[in-house]
Amino acid sequence: MKVVRPYGDTMDDGKVQLSFTLPVPDGAKGREAARKLVLSWGFKDCEVVHSAPLAAEFSFYVAYGKTESSIDYDSVVADEASADASMNMDEVNEYIRRNLGRKVVVVGACTGFDAHTVGIDAIMNMKGYNHHFGLERYPEMEAYNLGAQVPNEKLIDYALKVNADAILVSQVVTQKDTHIHNMTEFIELLEAKGLRDRFICVAGGPRIGNKLAVELGFDVGFGRGAYADDVATFIVKKLAEKN
């Protein structure tokens, strides 16, 4: 058992930094309201170090709180696919040559009305992101990035056309749970066509966790901080497992 608390400058001091807006005018009363509010969240101590007016009826606060809450670090299970065991690009290609002996076909898109290609581009485009090359760069992969606002139906048709092994669904916009509707519809469409087992289904996006993706029927989900290496590693290992 390893018990941990937030660390400010001394072990176990429990110091936490907070900032928030209240729909009240700035002033002494607003600051006191902010302090009491922070205490009501269970903090043992609170100092409001800054406040400023945002508009006539809104004010901004920066506060420090001290918490006594702790967590048993050893009991924690991370909601991540395989991030700490990913192979790099060369290793993935070598793995494909050795274990699969053919090119791996991947199709990806940002589906529904979502127009943000940042995520799918980071994973798929040649250039990749933050010095991690995208799947298009992998010599043992054929990667098709269909871009944004692709209907689920069209994505599936395309995956069939190029005989894909894996389908990548990117969802950036999460307002009003539109990502959940899109992802659910995608899986339902596959199931209706009897195709769910034909493809490895990968979901990704800044607010997509592995847990959520698996709950919705995907094989895996990748959130913030995932690179092409992580996605590729998962796909090729899963493929080898399937064979």
- Given the rule CB under 8 A, which residues bind another protein? 19-21, 52, 54-56, 58, 60, 113-115, 117-118, 121, 127, 130, 147-149, 173, 175-176, 178, 206, 224
Sequence-distant contacts of 89-98: CB under 8 A, at least 24 apart: 89/132, 89/133, 89/137, 89/138, 89/228, 89/229, 89/232, 92/138, 92/140, 92/229, 92/232, 92/233, 92/236, 93/138, 93/139, 93/140, 93/141, 95/236, 95/237, 95/240, 96/140, 96/141, 96/236, 97/140
Q: CB of residue 56 vs another protein: minimum separation in angstroms? A: 7
Q: Do 104 and 142 form a contact (C-beta atoms < 8 A)?
A: yes
**Beta carbon nearer to another protein, 91 or 142:** 142
16-54 b/e with 16+ CB inside 10 Å = b? Answer: bebeeebeeebeeebbebbbebbeeeebeebebeebeee
**Beta carbon nearer to another protein, 28 or 56:** 56
**Beta carbon nearer to another protein, 51 or 91:** 51
Q: CB of residue 182 vs another protein: minimum separation in angstroms? A: 11
Q: CB of residue 173 vs another protein: minimum separation in angstroms? A: 5
**Which residues are marked as active site?**
127
SS3 state of residue 31 = helix
Residues 6+ apart with CB under 8 A from 32: none
**Beta carbon nearer to another protein, 19 or 70:** 19
Q: CB of residue 241 vs another protein: minimum separation in angstroms? A: 32
Q: CB of residue 77 vs another protein: minimum separation in angstroms? A: 21
**Beta carbon nearer to another protein, 120 or 235:** 120
The Cα-based distances of 96 to 1, 90, 140, 207 in angstroms read 40, 10, 7, 30
